[in-house]
Amino acid sequence: MILDNFKFASDRNKFTRGEIYLNDDYSINHGNAAGREFFANISNTSICELAQPSVKAEFKTFLDELPKNGKGRIITILNDRYDEAHLMDISASWFMLSEPHYKLKITDICSIYECFDRDTESLWKYRIFLSMMQDYLFDYDCTSGMLSIYYYLGNRSMRFFYNSLDDFQAILVNDAGSDEKLAETAVSICKRIKNCTMDFEDTIVSGFLSKNHEQQKFKVHARFNNSDNFSPKVHGMITLLSDNEDELPYFMTKSGMDSATGLLNKRALIEYTRKILSNSNPDTDSHYMILIDIDNFKNINDTYGHAVGDKAISIVANAISDSLMNLGMAGRYGGDEFYIFTEDINDEESLRYLLRNIRGYVLDRAKDQLDIENLTLSMGISKYPELGTSYEDLLEYADRAVYIAKEKGKNRYIIYRPEMHDRKPASSAKGGRIMTNYDEESRIMNEAIKNLFLKKADKIAEDVRRIRKAFDLDCIDIYFRDSAANADAGAAMKLRYSSGTYAGMLKAETFLSSPKYMELFDDNGLNILGSHLNLKLCAPEVYAALDKVGCMTLIQKVKFGDDSEPEFFISFCKMNRSQKWSNAEINYLTMYSDLIYEVLKKER
């Protein structure tokens, strides 16, 4: 589509969607309220004349070729009554009941995003309302004959029953037993649902909602919805009329909710997790258990007061709920600790996306609402079935991972991996955490350093890979000039060793060619970044390169030759996560950088 230079619509004729009806010659006959407001006093005008010149022929051809009794769709540009242009998504169909001949559903693409935001806000509001109610909902698809019964828990829809309406009727009739009146009522309810009765209400007694299949009395209220935008369905609500809360699982009751956050409490979380695990297949299913601690929460309370501390807890709870949506269940595990158990996240990339969303939400809201710059989280993750199939096994490894995150400097997430993190555990007196008496990072680094001293050059590539995994890095790149002569001739550095998914994506020249960026290195040639936001002003070209690949955290070391030209450059990078480096990480990686430089220098 070729767009002319046209003036976009202003706020004086805001339009989202509407309907108009056309005569056989494409002139406008009438429309609904939105359509009439949009086109106003231009009835009997051909709609083709309202199209922008560059799309007029295409639009007319679309209408000419619209199949009889069929439908079509096109994106084009129409002018409103103020001669201002709107980019329109138009669904057209034949209107055969009487004159006129065409029905057009018109949506303004530019304004639909604003409408989407409003609808999303409303959606979440009603999900919260539904989560506060202890009622079941259902919908019957009139086309497929399938009935879905579900409830809302933690703002998430949980499907309880999905089968044909005939099967549901058989369950109700079977529960009625010898009581013919109850059986007749059950058949009557299902018949009215199947016949799409506009609005009805009735009561029935059955045990299908009880975990012990004990008889319960409930009210059924249903309404038929035949909107043009959706397939015809019957929607309804099932309300328990007797005091049946004792029959429900604890996590579905109001007692299972944490009053401060609206999330599940610890007991409910444990019960829910065990229920999901008991129904999971280790050969096909995948779950993540995530433990979350607010970093330095005691300091927040001491510095800003308990009211701010309570608000911080609320911000974290909202961040988790808004980010998780329908991917799992979340709750407050106790104090400043939170818990997530995922059901619909099957790969690590999706998991990392979720965790980054939670952290970004918390940082933004804390800064805006509390004026706190450093509200950060430490998160530990274990995976089913790789690390266990029980709640207790997964909790142990998730708890270890949180401790490792704290040990590494906080403000990070650790996905527990046995090959990286398995250590001999010893009980700790502090907070029940798992302490360690063997440091995997130290062991890997000691072996790598030993290989350098023994001049085992063939081991360097493998050592780089192991260091990357031990320190939870996404990539390590090592650049070196082959000789002093080449350096004098202005030869570029060569990538000597590289490891990781993003290996080699950020060239040494990206950093070394920026004088402003080089000023960030200290007298020892070391540069450490916990984020790169400050680069936007001082070195925008480097900022753009880092932002493009999502590099947020790095340690870099540069060495200069006798001619003051860089001859060695090493970069340790973490992608898509803004984290602090611990002193141990900085010392280990800096020491290894110095040693590998000496080895490479002697080799040339």
Q: What is the reported pLDDT for 534? A: 63
> In percent, how much of the chain has pLDDT > 70?
85
Q: Give phi and psi for 141, each to the nearest 5.
A: -85, 110
Contact at 8 Å (CB) between 331 and 339? Answer: yes
The three-state secondary structure class of 18 is: strand
User: Residues with Cβ < 8 Å from 503, sequence gap 6 or more?
Assistant: 475, 476, 477
Give the C-alpha separation, 306 to 298, whole Å. 9
CA-angle at 372, arms to 367 and 378, nearest 5°: 95
Q: Per-residue pLDDT for 571 more than 70? A: yes
Question: What's the chain's average pLDDT?
Answer: 81
Q: What is the reported pLDDT for 485? A: 46
> In percent, how much of the chain has pLDDT > 90?
17
- Global pTM exceeds 0.75: no
Give the C-alpha separation, 410 to 376, whole Å. 8
Contact at 8 Å (CB) between 179 and 268? Answer: no
pLDDT tens by residue, 409-426 = 889 999 998 877 765 443
User: Residues with Cβ < 8 Å from 258, sequence gap 6 or more?
Assistant: 264, 265, 331, 332
368 DSSP 8-state letter: I
Q: What is the reported pLDDT for 13? A: 53
Query: What is the pLDDT confidence band of residue 358, given thresholds at 50, 70 and 90?
Result: very high
Contact at 8 Å (CB) between 545 and 562? Answer: no
Half-sphere exposure of 251 (CA within 13 A, CB side): 23
Average pLDDT over residues 222-244: 74
Give the C-alpha separation, 275 to 249, whole Å. 10
Parallel/antiparallel/unpaired status of strands 526-529 and 551-560: antiparallel
Q: What is the reported pLDDT for 211? A: 62
Average pLDDT over residues 242-268: 75
CA-angle at 591, arms to 586 and 596, nearest 5°: 130
Q: What is the reported pLDDT for 536? A: 74
* Paired residues of 200 in beta bridges: 222
pLDDT tens by residue, 37-85 = 676 655 667 888 888 888 889 999 998 888 877 789 999 888 877 777 8
Q: What is the reported pLDDT for 147? A: 92
Of 356, 322, 344, the closest CA to residue 123 belongs to 322
pLDDT tens by residue, 115-124 = 777 777 777 7
Of 467, 463, 464, the closest CA to residue 478 belongs to 464
Q: Which residue has the higher pLDDT, 123 or 244?
A: 123
* 306-324 vs 348-365: helix crossing angle, rounded to 10: 150
Parallel/antiparallel/unpaired status of strands 28-31 and 17-22: antiparallel
Q: Per-residue pLDDT for 486 more than 60? A: no
pLDDT tens by residue, 178-218 = 888 889 999 999 998 988 887 788 888 888 776 667 788 88
Give whole-number Cα distances, 588 to 456, 464, 467, 556, 592, in Å. 19, 13, 10, 13, 6
- Burial tier of 400 (Cβ tally within 10 Å: 0-12, 13-18, 19+): buried
Q: Per-residue pLDDT for 336 more than 50? A: yes
Give the C-alpha separation, 155 to 430, whole Å. 35
Q: Per-residue pLDDT for 557 more than 90? A: yes
Contact at 8 Å (CB) between 292 and 357? Answer: no
229 DSSP 8-state letter: T
Longest dimension (CA), the chain: 101
Give the C-alpha separation, 522 to 509, whole Å. 18
Q: What is the reported pLDDT for 247? A: 55
Q: Which residue has the higher pLDDT, 167 or 487?
A: 167
**One-letter-per-residue 3-state SS of 115-161:** HHHHHHHHHHHHHHHHHHCCCEEEEEECCCCEEEEEEEECCEEEEEE
